[in-house]
Amino acid sequence: MNKGEVLLEHVTLSWKGADEGRLSVLDDLTLHIQAREFVCILGPSGCGKTTLLHLLAGFQRPSSGRIMVSGKEVSGPGPERAMVFQHSALFPWFTVAGNIGYGLKQGKRGKIEALLRLVGLEEFADAHPHQLSGGMRQKVSLARALALEPDVLLMDEPFAAIDTFNRERLQDELLRIREAMGCTIVFVTHNIQEAVYLSDRTIVLSQRPATITLEQDVALPFPRRRTDQALWQISQKLYGRCGCCTENVGNDSQ
C-alpha cells in the first residue's frame, strides 16, 4: 500500500439511539482512494459526510470494519491525516504564524514562512485570527494542516461559509497548492459544481444511514474551466442521479 493511499473496508458506524434502538450513521462503506487522488464526498446535510472524515482523522472509531491509511490501520488522530475544519478552528490566542506552527517541533520559522508564502498571507503573520476574513482564516487553517506534512488532507466543507467569488478563488488556490504538495485529498461538500470542478472522482452518499450511491470519475485535465461543457455534463448527471442533492442546487452560502 502506497503512502497516501486510503482504504475503507466494510466500515459501519452506529450510535445508541434515543429509544433503545441503534442509530445507524454509516452502513457498510467500502472505498479505495489512490495516493495523490482528489476525492470529493458529496451528500445531503446530515448524511454522515463529516462523520466519515472524523473516522479517517481518527477522532472517532468505526463500529465495525477497518480503515487503512498509508498501509497502517487508523487507531487515533495523527499528523499524517490533517484536517481542515468548516469553521477553521484556529486558536484565537495565537497569531497566524503561531497557528500555522502549532504542530511543528523543529525548523519552525522557515517552514512557517514558506507556508505563509504558499497561501499568500505573508503580511498577516502577526495578525490574530479574528482580524482576518473567513476566506483568509481557511487559508491559515489549510496552512496549519499542510505544516504537518500529511499523507492525506481531510477537508470538511472548508469553503461552505464563504461567498461565491471568494470560494472560487479559494478553490483555484487549493488546486494550485495541491500541485505543490502532492498529498491525497478527501474533500467533503454539498455543492455539486465544487465537487466536479475540484475532484478526480466524486463519491455520492445517500441519506443516513450513508451508503455510496454513485462513484463518478471526473477525468478532465487540470487546469479546468468552470464553463467547460464536459464539466457541466458531469454536473448535470450528478444532479439527475442523486435526488437527495437537488435541494442543495444553487444553495451557495451555507
Partner 1 sequence: MLNRCQLIKLYKILSPFFVIVIAWKCLSWLLLLLKGVIFPAPEDVVREFVAYVQGAPIFGHSLAAQTWATIKRWLLGYLLGSLTGLVVGLLCAVSQWLAMALYPVVLMLQMVPGLAWIPVAILVVGIGPETSIFMIALATLPPVTIGLMDGIRGVPPEYLYVSRMCGDSSFRRFFMTQLPAALPSVMTGMRLALANSWRVVVAAEMVVGTGVGLGYVILQSRWDMNYEAAFVCIGVIVFLGLVTERWGFGRLEKYTVKRWGMLNE
Least CB distance to partner 1 at residue 79 (A): 5
Least CB distance to partner 1 at residue 136 (A): 14
Q: What is the DSSP string of 105-140?
A: -SSHHHHHHHHHHHHT-GGGTTS-GGGS-HHHHHHH
With CB under 8 A as the contact rule, the residue among 9, 63, 78, 231 that binds partner 1 is 78
With CB under 8 A as the contact rule, the residue among 3, 36, 87, 224 that binds partner 1 is 87
State the DSSP code for 7.
E
Q: In angstroms, rounded to a whole number, what is the distance separating the alpha carbons of residues 125 and 116? A: 7
* Torsion region of 160: left, alpha or beta (phi above 0 gives left; psi -120 to 50 gives alpha): alpha
Contact assessment for residue 151 and residue 183, using Cβ atoms and an 8 Å cutoff: yes
Nearer to partner 1, 43 or 129 (CB): 129
| Contact call for residue 25 and partner 1 (CB under 8 A) | no
With CB under 8 A as the contact rule, the residue among 13, 56, 81, 218 that binds partner 1 is 81
Closest CA to 67 of 6, 134, 136, 1: 6
| Contact call for residue 239 and partner 1 (CB under 8 A) | no
Q: In angstroms, rounded to a whole number, what is the distance separating the alpha carbons of residues 186 and 204? A: 13
Q: In angstroms, rounded to a whole number, what is the distance separating the alpha carbons of residues 185 and 199? A: 9
Q: In angstroms, rounded to a whole number, what is the distance separating the alpha carbons of residues 174 and 190? A: 17
Nearer to partner 1, 83 or 192 (CB): 83
Considering only residues 125-184, where is the footprint of partner 1 by CB under 8 A?
A: 128-131, 144, 148
- Distance in angstroms between the alpha carbons of the first and the last residue of the chain: 37
| Contact call for residue 65 and partner 1 (CB under 8 A) | no
Least CB distance to partner 1 at residue 81 (A): 7
Least CB distance to partner 1 at residue 94 (A): 8
Beta bridge partners of 201: 39, 217
88 half-sphere exposure, CB direction, 13 A CA radius: 21
Least CB distance to partner 1 at residue 181 (A): 17
Stretch in the footprint of partner 1 (CB under 8 A) among 5-13, 71-79, 190-198, 199-207: 71-79
| Contact call for residue 82 and partner 1 (CB under 8 A) | yes
Place of cell 462523520: 51
Amino acid at 209: P
Stretch in the footprint of partner 1 (CB under 8 A) among 36-44, 77-85, 217-225, 240-248: 77-85
Stretch in the footprint of partner 1 (CB under 8 A) among 79-87, 106-114, 171-179, 238-246: 79-87
Judged by the rule CB under 8 A, the positions of this chain that interact with partner 1 are: 57-59, 76-79, 81-83, 85, 87, 89, 91-93, 102-103, 128-131, 144, 148
